[in-house]
Amino acid sequence: MRKFPEHPFGYGAIDGPASLAHAPPPCQHQHLAHKITAGFPSPAADYIEDGLDLNEYLVPNKCASFLFTVAGDSMRDAGILDGDKVIVDRSVPPTHGKIVIAVIDSEYTLKRLHSVDGTIELRSENPAYASIRMVEGSTLEVWGVVVGSIRRYRG
Mean pLDDT of 70-89: 96
- The HSE-up count of residue 150 (CA atoms within 13 Å, CB side) is 14
The pLDDT value given to residue 84: 95
pLDDT at 69 over 90: yes
Are the beta carbons of 103 and 54 closer than 8 angstroms? no
pLDDT at 81 over 90: yes
Pick from 144, 124, 98, 112: nearest CA to 7: 124
Each domain of the chain, given as residue ranges in start order, spans 1-21+62-155, 24-58
Task: Give the angle 98-1-135 at the CA atoms, nearest 5°.
Answer: 75
Q: Report residue 110: phi and psi, to 5°.
A: -110, 120
Q: Domain 1-21+62-155, what fold? A: Umud Fragment, subunit A (2.10.109)
Write out the catalytic residue numbers. 74, 111
Segment 111-125, tens digit of pLDDT:
999 987 878 899 999
On average, the pLDDT of the chain sits at 78
Percent over 70 (pLDDT), the chain: 68
3 or 147, higher pLDDT: 147
